[in-house]
Amino acid sequence: MPGICKELATKIAHFARFPQTGVSLRQMVEFGQNPSQGTLLRAAQFLHDELPIRLAHRVVELDSLPDNLNQMPSVLRVKRMYIDSFNELVNFPRVSDRIKDAVKGATVHANAERRHLPESNTNPAVSDMPRVASSHWIPPIQHRYHYEVKPAELPVEVTEYNRSFVKSLERIKRRHDPVVTTLAHGVVEYKQLQKTNRIDASVQHFLDRFYLSRIGIRMLIGQQIELNQQRRDPNFVGVICTNTNVAQVVQEAIDNARYICGDYYVLMNTPAIELHCPKDLAFMYVPSHLHHMVFELLKNSLRAVIELYGDEAEKYPPIKVVVAEGNEDITIKVSDEGGGIPRSAMEQVWTYMYTTAQTPMLDPEFNQSDFKAPLAGFGYGLPLSRLYARYFGGDLKLISMEGYGTDAYLHLSRLSDNEEPLA
């Protein structure tokens, strides 16, 4: 690996040989309910082991990208972020023997006393993703992520260690905020070098794997940070809401999308959006993920309708959002009359960098996360939204009638038992 010392390169290659450990939404919730400082320390130890493995996998993949994509300036910047975060974690102090002994003494070992994590199922999103072969054995998730520690009197060093580790995680999270947009610039640089307007299937699959991994890393980091805040909201376990009200989150996305649309097109008469959803429908989910996906779908529908009818139209056909509750899934359908998508272009809408909008130029120092970045014009809205849906076992599909409109179906698993799709 050029640009880093041999010792660090060897260490990254070593960690990349270990398999990654997936965690399901339900397991995160089961673990995070009323955690003691000792339990949080156990979780910190899991992340201290797991995050360098995940970061190393991505560094190795970034370094081996074909056709000089790995040499694009923006791709090199992303790789540097991951190397810096890997280095910070592997050099973070290990737990002292004194703390280990104290926590071990308070750990629930008896099988009858211990709360066991629920079993998880393989995420359907990994069916087409090759798993990294490894001869290294790692203990199962029950013995790594979840140790129940009694709320016993523990040394003050336990709390201090947890606080210090969270500060390190916060630095890493901030460092990685601009990854999506920086890597998008790297793909733009690559397309310019190759003198092409499209990316091939290998680059598309790489971006899917990379961004899914990023979602998982940020989910684990965000969950650990929030659990250590120990806020007393009965509906939240870290960043996960155990009682996410679908109607409220979707309505907020509707209000935000209409505001953004009206501001962009300078409209007094923004297309109406009708919501048909049971008011009390709730399930376990991450509200920010749900808002992000619905907002992107609504933004696309609003743009399609306005550009078909013109920004001076007296009246627009309404966009309809219908939410249905099933035994396995909650499905959100977004229907518009924006003219639809030609059948020949249906596969392309899932391709990164495919867009009919003008691609914006971002400052190289832009440091906002993917929730805040101006991604309209990068062609990232739909493929990223599908990854967010698939991360917890759901999916996103489109059915279009050219000359009429498009229906988007957002499927969300309400069972919450799919492990992360890691590859």
Could you tell me if 197 and 2 are in contact, meaning their C-beta atoms sit under 8 angstroms apart? no
Please tell me the distance from the alpha carbon of residue 249 to that of residue 223, in angstroms, as a whole number. Answer: 20
Could you tell me if 391 and 216 are in contact, meaning their C-beta atoms sit under 8 angstroms apart? yes
Please tell me the distance from the alpha carbon of residue 281 to that of residue 398, in angstroms, as a whole number. Answer: 24
Please tell me the distance from the alpha carbon of residue 141 to that of residue 108, in angstroms, as a whole number. Answer: 16
Q: Catalytic one among 50, 300, 337, 420? A: 300
Give the E-state strand segments of 300-351 in sequence order. 319-325, 329-336
299 belongs to the catalytic site: yes
Sheet of 319-325: strand order equals: 273-276, 319-325, 329-336, 405-413, 395-401
Taking the alpha carbons at both ends of the chain, their separation in whole angstroms is: 21
Give Rg (Cα) of the chain.
23
300 belongs to the catalytic site: yes
Q: Catalytic one among 292, 337, 419, 420? A: 292
Supply 407's token pair: 């229906």
397 belongs to the catalytic site: no
CA atoms within 13 A on the CB side of 2: 4
Distance of CA 403 to the CA centre of its chain: 34
296 belongs to the catalytic site: yes
Q: Element (H or E) spanning 386, and its range?
A: helix 381-391
Please tell me the distance from the alpha carbon of residue 191 to that of residue 287, in angstroms, as a whole number. Answer: 35
Supply 32's token pair: 């995070």
Q: Catalytic one among 50, 61, 148, 296? A: 296
Q: Catalytic one among 176, 299, 320, 411? A: 299
- What are the catalytic residues? 292, 296, 299-300
